[in-house]
């Protein structure tokens, strides 16, 4: 069943994701020999393209994404791509698609292994899955897998309904729900840092850690996605998936084995231990923000309410900060602070693990002399870790000064780390679902987030905008930590 020769069908092949991420990732897998000679890629979408148009677009996407191409095998690579024009709501379309798959399986000598990648608007996920089954596209002797993009519903009931629809056609172990953060090198490295280093794991608990801070800030606004984003907001766009996945990886117990099932089951347990935030507590634990006009990295930018396809009175949050508590033996009493937002000062994803003070610090004279030990995991744009220790100040004062041990590099240009999508595609082709989200994780995350969302809905409109573009978010996000005696560690 781990046979990797397969046909990849991309629904939405004329779209942005295929162009920016999928085609370059497939090329890189091909160039590294991961795909073997027996594979085909079918681009499916509404437009009336020919095979040739698709191939030209694939080539263009490789050029635009600055993928390193080996001209010697480019034509061979492109020959694996085929296009079919398809109406996702018509039975006949699926019958035509099935014929094309069968033909290509013959031509390229591919076993009946089929990967269906849904890079489409979410309202089509359910219907596509059900047609794939009813028209016999999943009815073959090899494996069938469904890769599905976000958003997976917009709350727990809609996610459950979507899940029921796709489960009619695919088993849980055939469904690969993408959270592209799980494809990032340093997100995958959280487990390695924790479970392969004797100097961290013994300290990884409430006896030694005072708090954990996870920041994912962006400088971009909503760009051309105002229509989607205005109905979503930062809580559902970023917290429900990426931020809670990072919390789960940081908080989970060591798995007994490095298998998909064991790792996921530990993550699920961590998410089950999240303390729910009830409606009357929401202001104590969560802060929402929306950007007004401002200056981001030297450019004047408009406020969120003036962005295209955004309601001029929009009450949608573009920033969230929160304090999460995990009620289990390891984490009782340790706040996990998260914050994420658009149009902030930096594009940066970082995790700071702050260790507790020494019981008796002999060097303590003034507050400035004590710097807690920090482990910082840099996820992007740099990748790596830094450890902040205390050393002696070299000025005869006998005081201490923070010393930074740094192991970080710029992700895109220095070391050639594969793109998240390349890793995720490769995993799915190999049948490894570890870095995809299980339904239970999705459901628990929605349950947590829904309560906060509902509490906000019931309150009177927020006082938006409440942070300037190019800043670090509303000042209330500082208060969230200050009330516990902490502050956010800087992003640089
Ligand atoms: C996506 C969100 O899931 O993640 C976007 O829908 C956001 O709004 C993006 O910009 C951030 O991803 P990254 O990899 O740039 O941090």
Residue 357 CA, ligand 1 centroid: distance in Å: 35
**Residue 481, pLDDT score:** 98
Q: How confident is the model at residue 411 (pLDDT cuts 50, 70, 90)?
A: low
Residue 412 clears pLDDT 60, i.e. is over it:
no
Show the tokens assigned to 54.
Answer: 């698709």
Residue 19 clears pLDDT 50, i.e. is over it:
yes
Active-site residue identified among 242, 371, 438, 487: 242
**Residue 1, pLDDT score:** 40
Q: Is 237 annotated as a binding residue?
A: yes
Q: What is the pLDDT of residues 56-65, one digit of tens each?
A: 999 999 999 8
- Measured distance CA(83)–CA(74) in Å, rounded: 18
**Residue 2, pLDDT score:** 47
242 is an active site residue: yes
SS3 for 291? strand
Beta strands 319-324; 286-289: pairing state: antiparallel
To test ligand 1's pocket by mutation, which of 150, 151, 238, 422 has the most ligand atoms within 8 angstroms of CB? 238
The answer to whether the CB of 237 is under 6 A from ligand 1 is: yes
The overall average pLDDT reported for the chain is: 94
Q: How confident is the model at residue 461 (pLDDT cuts 50, 70, 90)?
A: confident
CA distances from 143 to 110, 140, 162, 294, 428 (A): 12, 8, 22, 51, 11
Residue 378 CA, ligand 1 centroid: distance in Å: 16
Residue 3 CA, ligand 1 centroid: distance in Å: 32
User: Is the full-model pTM beyond 0.90?
Assistant: yes
Please compute the mean of the pLDDT values over residues 137-162 and round it to a whole number: 94
Evaluate the CA torsion angle 489, 436, 258, 22 in order and state its sign: negative
Q: Is 14 annotated as a binding residue?
A: yes
Please compute the mean of the pLDDT values over residues 303-328 and round it to a whole number: 98
- Measured distance CA(28)–CA(32) in Å, rounded: 6
Q: What is the pLDDT of residues 52-86, one digit of tens each?
A: 999 999 999 999 988 999 999 999 999 999 999 99
Listed in sequence order, the residues at least 6 apart from 216 whose beta carbon sits closer than 8 Å to its beta carbon are 238, 242, 243, 339, 340, 348, 349, 379
For residue 271, count CB atoms less than 10 angstroms from its CB and return exposed for 0-12, middle for 13-18, buried for 19 or more.
Answer: buried
Q: How confident is the model at residue 111 (pLDDT cuts 50, 70, 90)?
A: very high
Residue 36 clears pLDDT 90, i.e. is over it:
no
SS3 for 177? strand
DSSP state of 344: B
Q: How confident is the model at residue 325 (pLDDT cuts 50, 70, 90)?
A: very high
Residue 416 clears pLDDT 60, i.e. is over it:
no
Residue 252 CA, ligand 1 centroid: distance in Å: 24
Please compute the mean of the pLDDT values over residues 368-395 and round it to a whole number: 90
Contact call for residues 434 and 425 (beta carbons, < 8 A): no
Please compute the mean of the pLDDT values over residues 1-5 and round it to a whole number: 72
Nearest CA to ligand 1 atom 4: 238
Q: What percent of the chain has pLDDT over 70?
A: 97
Residue 87 clears pLDDT 80, i.e. is over it:
yes
Q: What is the pLDDT of residues 162-195, one digit of tens each?
A: 999 999 999 999 999 999 999 999 999 999 999 9
Q: Is 327 annotated as a binding residue?
A: no
The answer to whether the CB of 218 is under 6 A from ligand 1 is: yes
Nearest CA to ligand 1 atom 8: 237
Residue 414 clears pLDDT 50, i.e. is over it:
no
**Residue 363, pLDDT score:** 80
Q: Is 150 annotated as a binding residue?
A: yes
Q: What is the pLDDT of residues 214-243, one digit of tens each?
A: 999 999 999 989 999 999 999 999 999 999
The answer to whether the CB of 317 is under 6 A from ligand 1 is: no
Residue 231 CA, ligand 1 centroid: distance in Å: 16
Q: Is 233 annotated as a binding residue?
A: no
The answer to whether the CB of 266 is under 6 A from ligand 1 is: no
Residue 37 clears pLDDT 90, i.e. is over it:
no
């Amino acid at each position: 069943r781990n046979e990797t020769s397969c046909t990849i069908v991309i629904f939405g092949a004329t779209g942005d994701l295929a162009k920016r991420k999928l085609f370059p990732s497939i090329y890189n897998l091909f160039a590294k020999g991961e795909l073997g000679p027996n594979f085909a890629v079918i681009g499916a979408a509404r437009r009336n393209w020919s095979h040739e148009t698709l191939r030209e677009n694939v080539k263009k996407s490789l050029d635009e994404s600055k993928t390193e191409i080996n001209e010697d095998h480019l034509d061979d690579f492109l020959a694996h791509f085929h296009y079919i024009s398809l109406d996702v709501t018509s039975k006949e379309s699926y019958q035509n698609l099935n014929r094309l798959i069968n033909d290509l399986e013959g031509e390229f000598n591919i076993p009946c292994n089929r990967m269906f990648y849904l890079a489409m608007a979410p309202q089509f996920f359910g219907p596509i899955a059900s047609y794939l089954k009813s028209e016999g596209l999943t009815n073959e002797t090899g494996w069938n897998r469904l890769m599905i993009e976000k958003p997976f519903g917009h709350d727990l009931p809609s996610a459950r309904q979507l899940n029921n629809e796709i489960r009619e056609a695919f088993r849980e172990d055939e469904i690969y729900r993408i959270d592209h953060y799980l494809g990032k090198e340093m997100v995958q490295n959280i487990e390695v840092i924790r479970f392969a280093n004797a100097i961290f794991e013994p300290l990884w608990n409430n006896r030694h850690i005072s708090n954990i801070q996870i920041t994912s800030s962006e400088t971009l606004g909503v760009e051309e996605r105002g229509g989607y984003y205005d109905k979503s907001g930062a809580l559902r766009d970023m917290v429900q998936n990426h931020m809670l996945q990072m919390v789960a990886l940081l908080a989970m117990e060591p798995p007994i084995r490095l298998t998909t099932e064991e790792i996921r089951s530990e993550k699920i347990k961590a998410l089950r231990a999240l303390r729910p935030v009830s409606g009357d507590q929401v202001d104590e634990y969560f802060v929402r923000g929306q950007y007004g006009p401002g200056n981001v990295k030297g450019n004047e930018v408009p406020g969120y309410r003036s962005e295209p396809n955004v309601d001029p009175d929009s009450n949608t949050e573009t920033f969230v900060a929160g304090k999460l508590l995990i009620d289990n033996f390891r984490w009782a009493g340790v706040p996990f602070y998260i914050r994420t937002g658009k149009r902030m000062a930096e594009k940066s994803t970082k995790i700071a693990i702050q260790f507790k003070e020494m019981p008796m610090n002999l060097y303590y004279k003034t507050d400035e002399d004590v710097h807690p030990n920090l482990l910082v995991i840099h996820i992007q744009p740099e990748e790596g870790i830094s450890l902040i220790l205390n050393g002696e100040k070299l000025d005869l004062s006998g005081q201490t000064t923070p010393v930074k041990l740094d192991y970080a590099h710029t992700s895109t240009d220095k070391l050639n780390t594969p793109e998240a999508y390349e890793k995720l595609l490769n995993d799915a082709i190999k049948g490894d679902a570890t870095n995809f989200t299980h339904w239970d994780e999705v459901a628990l995350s929605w349950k947590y987030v829904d309560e906060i969302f509902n509490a906000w809905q019931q309150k009177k409109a927020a006082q938006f905008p409440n942070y300037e573009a190019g800043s670090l978010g509303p000042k209330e996000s500082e208060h969230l930590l200050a009330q516990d005696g902490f502050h956010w560690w800087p992003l640089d």
